[in-house]
Amino acid sequence: MKEAPHASQSVDQYAIFQAGGKQYQAIPGKTVAIEKLEGNSGDKISFAEVLFRKTGAEAFEFGRPYIKDAAVKASIVKQAKGQKVIIFKFQRRKKRRTKTGHRQPMTVVRIESI
C-alpha cells in the first residue's frame, strides 16, 4: 500500500516570511492570519523580509538573514480579532479574584505571489 505524500512535499513553490516579529509560511492562494497591519480589505501589501524561498522541486534559496530582491505579495481579506484569552488572577484567603479578557487584533491576508 502506497502512502500519500506529505503536504509540504507536493508544493513546488513556497516561502517563509517575517511580519510583526513572527514567521509565516506563504503558499500562493493560501490565507494567513498575521499581526494587525494598517489597511482595508482589498488593499495590496508586500512583505520584503523573506527568509527562505523554494522555487522548484530542487531549487532553494536561503537568506542571511533575508533574501535580496525577494517579496511576498498579498492582499488583505479582512481585519478581525483572534480568540478570547481569559486572564484570571486569584489570591487565596484574601477574597481577591479578577477576571479579564483580551482579543488580539489580526489581519487575514491571501498570498498572491512569491
Domain ranges of the chain: 14-78+107-113
What is the spatial distance between Cα 65 and Cα 70, in angstroms, rounded to a whole number?
A: 12
CB-CB contact of 51 with 16 (8 Å): yes
Q: What is the pTM (predicted TM-score) of this model? A: 0.76
> Residue 40 CA to chain centroid, in angstroms?
18
Where does the pLDDT of residue 78 fall: very low under 50, low under 70, confident under 90, or very high at 90 and above? very high
Query: What are the tens digits of pLDDT across the range 24-70?
Result: 999 988 999 999 999 898 899 999 899 998 887 788 888 888 888 88
- Residue 86: pLDDT over 80: yes
**Polymer length in residues for the chain:** 114
The C-alpha cell 502512502 sits at: 3
Grid cell 479578557 — which residue? 101
Q: What percent of the chain has pLDDT over 70?
A: 90
Helix (H) or strand (E) holding 46: strand 44-47
Output 80 or 5, whichever has higher pLDDT.
Answer: 80
Q: Are the beta carbons of 11 and 20 closer than 8 angstroms?
A: no
